[in-house]
Chains A and B, each alone.
Chain A
Amino acid sequence: MKNLRARVIYWIEHRTGLESAIKNFLYEDIPASSGWHQVFGSVALFLFLLQGFTGVLLSFNYAPTPGESYNSLKFIITELTGGRLIRGLHHWGASLMIVVVFLHMTQVFVYGAYKKPREATWLVGVVLLILTLGFGLTGYLLPWDNRAYWGTIVTTQIASKAPLVGTYVTRLLGGDGTIGVVTFARFFSLHVLLLPAATALLIALHVYLVRKHGVCPSPLDGEATKKFFPEQVFKDTIAIFVAFVILFVMAVIVKVPLEQLADPTDSNYVPRPDWYFLFLFQILKLFEGPLEIVGSVILPGLAFLALLSVPFVDRGDMRRLRQRTLAIGLTFFAALGWTGLTATALLTNPKIESRGGQEGEIIQGWQQLSPAELAGIAYYRDEKCASCHNLTEGTPKVGPNLTTAAIRRSPVWMIEHFKHPSQLVPGTSMPPIHLNDEQLSALAAFLGKLSPTNAEALESAPDNVVQGAVVYQINQCGNCHTANGEGMKVGPALNGLARRRTPEWIEGQIRRPQSHFPESMMPPADLTPRDMERLVAYLLSLPYIKPFSVALTEEVPVPRKTSGEPKLDVGLSPELLL
């Protein structure tokens, strides 16, 4: 048996030279001072390979087009066993890779390992850093949820503002300020074809250069050496294993968000980049008006050039670690600056403080539904759908759980099914729902909005508010007013009414509009006291939305939405009409 093994190894070695190549690689001499501080490069390489592995697995079930991509990702995390874990590994792997790459770079910088003759190794490393960030940037769009969409809008807009090349960069990214199929295809292609190939090539070059010049020794080493295998490989393995365990635990414990499907009309959304880009985002806020390119292009560009020039500026002899006070000081201040900027960005995040609302006001999930969807909840309750269907986990009922069933059905199908249940699902025990088309479509709209994550929040909508939405729908208030982005703009938008008006004022306005504004063309509505109370409760529940123009100067240069219907703006201010 032993003989056979030796013969097989001999055969392979004789035909390919593989064994001697591996031995050559493993038994290379490294400086005696090598140790734990040099493990980060190996960890980064491991994480890169792991990203490739999980990335390929994800791509097996992923449709790289807008919209479809969202559905397929949802399929991966909700319907495939292990899908959530694999996406978690890929998502957090990206973050961990950034951390490890920075640790690796910091170690090289602090030890001065980039000095002659290792300048080229450093330069390749800096390019690899940029590529790693490029992975983060392009991968961010691929889930095609709100976060992805709005985050990338901002990114591409920044790129378009670059002096001289801006327009060309925009064109290259397939856009004219909007994001659609072309931009998506290019980001996807960059993320899975160009960047991995370029990174793999440069890693090979990087490792080749490390081998060519040998691992950087300490000035104290002299001629003393040791072997790479097994002692250093042991340390690398331990470090890789620790990183892997951290990553695995994060992937299992920390849920990776998948927000709503990208909605270009969601003017309430606060876009934020991933955590490792937050410092850049914060720098942007410091420069206003024409100075903006300082933050968006000039400073990052200078930082990149500074990194590239490091080995050419610091050209002295190798020093011991304790003599490199300047390098350590610089690293310290860079870390401090980064932490400060990131922390400021996190603390001033309006999403946490008050997402467009009053101080401490929390906007519930149901408050963001359109009037029709909210009215759908009322019909859902009136028709006692819950006696046969579940929205949350619980003891199974006769009918299917609607949070999972609705995803697969179109509104047209649902409405037809409500009218004649047994025609579409023969043998069902569901009775037909006797509502008119408009009411059924409201019910279908609500069910279409349902997902396992939001069901509880939507179910908690107060009864008088959902009934108020029904009154709103019946009286066709949406023909003139906008509520949560739905409806026309003849009259003023109704969001945030609670901030401007009292319940009595609103009631008066509905009964006799001309009593407040003689010029108003709003028709009076004669409602029963109960309907009036419900309608007012509904109107007051509409959350305040920060006007976009304010967000534009205060927060981040987000473009106004570019798609959607033409506005019917009659040019009257809300105060004038209301």
Chain B
Amino acid sequence: MNRRTFHLTFIYGLWSLIGIILAIPATIYLLLPPRLRKEREWVEAGNLSQLQPEVPEEWVFRRNRVDGWKVTSERTTAWVLKKKSNQEVVAFGPQCPHLGCAYHWQVRNQTFLCPCHNSTFSIEGEVLTGPSPRALDRYETKIVGEKLFLGAVLSSEEMKS
């Protein structure tokens, strides 16, 4: 190894080393999620007694959201449906699974319609028409007495597992 190669090796080697030593923590810092303990929070969304069977109703309630260094209490919605058959309660998440728009219940057609790209869903949340890749997401539910508590929003696959 002559003098010039020796110098070149060190120059390229050390600069690569500096680059790597900086790039690794920077990547981790930017890409890894915050070290938060995921607390499963159940929020009281409302009282089931006023709910008509087979009529989806939009409930607005408050829940806390951990947003970086803040916890914000924000209003969010759920489409809540009490089934006639087995008294089961379903709460659909507030966003269309396609691109996250807000959807609503159409009484006339008895479907959920997302106005962004015209996805429609049955009362069970199944896709009828449009580009939505899957059925409506659902909240985890827990019923204490007449009160409905809602947990995380999960897709139907996550729900099964």
Q: Which of B4, B15, B28, B39 contacts A82 (CB 8 A)?
A: B28
Q: Which residues of chain A (356-414) have a CB below 8 Å from chain B?
A: 400, 404, 408-409
Mask for B12-37, Cβ within 8 A of A = 1, else 0? 00110110011001101110101111
Q: Nearest CB to that of B41 among chain A residues?
A: A425
Mark out the residues of chain A between 409 and 463 whose CB falls within 8 Å of any chain B CB in the assembled complex.
Answer: 409, 423, 425-427
Determine the distance from Cα of A53 to Cα of B44 in the docked complex, in whole angstroms: 45
By the criterion CB–CB under 8 Å, are A426 and B149 in contact? yes
CB of B14 to closest CB in A, whole Å: 5
**B75 beta carbon closer than 8 Å to chain A:** no
Bound: A241/B149 CA distance, A: 57
**A86 in complex: contacting residue of B4, B11, B25, CB < 8 Å:** B25
Q: Chain A residues near B7 (CB, 8 Å)?
A: 230-231, 233-234
Considering only residues 63-81 of chain A, those with a C-beta below 8 Å from chain B are 63, 68, 71-72, 74-75, 78-81
CA distance A240 to B13 in the complex (A): 13
Determine if A240 and B41 form an interchain contact, defined as CB atoms under 8 angstroms apart. Answer: no
The residue in chain A whose Cβ has the minimal distance to the Cβ of B147 is A426
Is A408 within 8 A of B4, CB to CB?
no
Are A61's CB and B68's CB within 8 A?
A: yes
Chain A neighbourhood of B70, CB < 8 A: 68, 71
Report the separation of the CA atoms of residues A233 and B36 in the bound assembly, to the nearest whole angstrom: 45
| The one of A237, A409, A426 that contacts B10, using a Cβ cutoff of 8 Å | A237
Contact of A81 among B4, B29, B39 (CB under 8 A): B29
Q: In the bound complex, do residue A79 and residue B35 qualify as a contact, i.e. CB atoms below 8 Å apart? A: yes
Q: How many A residues are at the interface, by size bracket?
A: 35 or more
The residues of B that contact A85 with a CB separation of less than 8 Å are 25, 29
- On chain A, the residues within 8 Å of B149 by CB distance are 426
Interface residues contributed by chain B, number (CB under 8 Å): 34
Contact present for B142 and A74 (CB under 8 Å):
no
A contact residues around B18 at 8 Å (CB): 240-241, 244
Contacts of A53 in B (CB 8 A): 22, 26
Within 8 A of B (CB), among A215-233: 230-231, 233
Please state if A426 and B11 are interface contacts (CB–CB under 8 Å): no
For residue A188, CB closer than 8 A to chain B, the reply is: no
- Taking chain A's interface residues, is the majority helix, strand, or loop, or is none over half, making it mixed? helix
The 0/1 profile, CB within 8 Å of B marked 1, for residues 224-260 of chain A is: 0000001101100110110010001000000000000
CA gap between A81 and B7 in the complex, in Å: 36
Assembly CA distance A68 to B11 (angstroms):
43
Are B69 and A82 in contact, CB atoms less than 8 angstroms apart?
no
Given A53-B22, A57-B26, A426-B42, A80 and B11 touching (CB < 8 A)? no
Q: Are A57 and B41 in contact (CB under 8 A)?
A: no
Chain B positions within 8 Å of A82 at CB level: 25-26, 28-29, 32
How many whole Å from A430's CB to the nearest CB in chain B?
13
With the chains together, A426 CA to B21 CA distance in Å?
A: 45
Point out the residues of chain B lying under 8 angstroms from A427, CB to CB: 40, 42, 142
Within the assembled complex, what's the spacing in Å between the Cα atoms of A541 and B5? 69
Contact A238 B14 (CB under 8 A): yes
Contact of A72 among B35, B36, B41, B68 (CB under 8 A): B68
Cβ 8 A contact of B14, one of A60, A80, A241: A241
- Is B66 close to A, CB under 8 A? yes
Which of A61, A63, A230 has the most B CB atoms < 10 Å from its CB? Answer: A230
Q: Which of A68, A248, A404 contacts B21 (CB 8 A)?
A: A248
Interface flag for A134 (CB, 8 Å): no
* Beta-carbon nearest neighbor of B17 in chain A: A241
Asked if A237 and B11 sit within 8 Å, CB to CB, the answer is yes
Known: A71-B69, A75-B68, A240-B18. A57 touches B30 (CB 8 A): yes
A264 within 8 A of B: no
Known contacts being A57-B26, A85-B25, A86-B26, is A75 close to B34, with CB within 8 Å? Answer: yes
Contacts of A423 in B (CB 8 A): 44
Q: Is the CB–CB distance between B11 and A75 below 8 Å?
A: no
B residues less than 8 Å from A230 (CB atoms): 4, 7-8, 11
Is the beta-carbon distance between A63 and B69 smaller than 8 angstroms? yes
Q: A400 — which chain B residues lie within 8 A by C-beta? A: 37, 39
Decide if B107 is an interface residue (CB 8 Å cutoff).
Answer: no
Across the interface, name the chain A residue whose C-beta is closest to B36: A79
* Residue B1 is within 8 A (CB to CB) of chain A in the complex: no
The distance in angstroms between the C-alpha atoms of A401 and B136, with both chains bound, is 36
In the assembly, what is the distance between CA of A427 and CA of B29, in Å?
Answer: 34
Question: Is the Cβ of A234 less than 8 Å from the Cβ of B36?
Answer: no
> Residue A83 at the B interface, CB < 8 A?
yes
B30 lies within 8 A of A60 (CB): yes
A426 touching B142, Cβ below 8 Å: yes
CA distance A498 to B107 in the complex (A): 77
A57 contacts B29, C-beta separation under 8 Å: yes
| Complex A-B: 12 CB contacts under 8 Å | A57-B26, A61-B68, A68-B70, A71-B70, A81-B28, A234-B7, A234-B11, A237-B15, A238-B10, A423-B44, A425-B42, A426-B42
Residues of B within 8 A of A (CB): 4, 7-8, 10-11, 14-15, 17-18, 21-22, 25-26, 28-30, 32, 34-37, 39-42, 44, 66, 68-71, 142, 144, 149
The 3 closest A-B pairs by CB, nearest first: A75-B69, A426-B42, A82-B29
Binding site for B on A (CB under 8 A): 50, 53, 57, 60-61, 63, 68, 71-72, 74-75, 78-83, 85-86, 230-231, 233-234, 237-238, 240-241, 244, 248, 400, 404, 408-409, 423, 425-427
A86-B29, A230-B8, A425-B42 given; 4 more Cβ-contact pairs under 8 Å: A68-B70, A82-B32, A231-B7, A426-B44
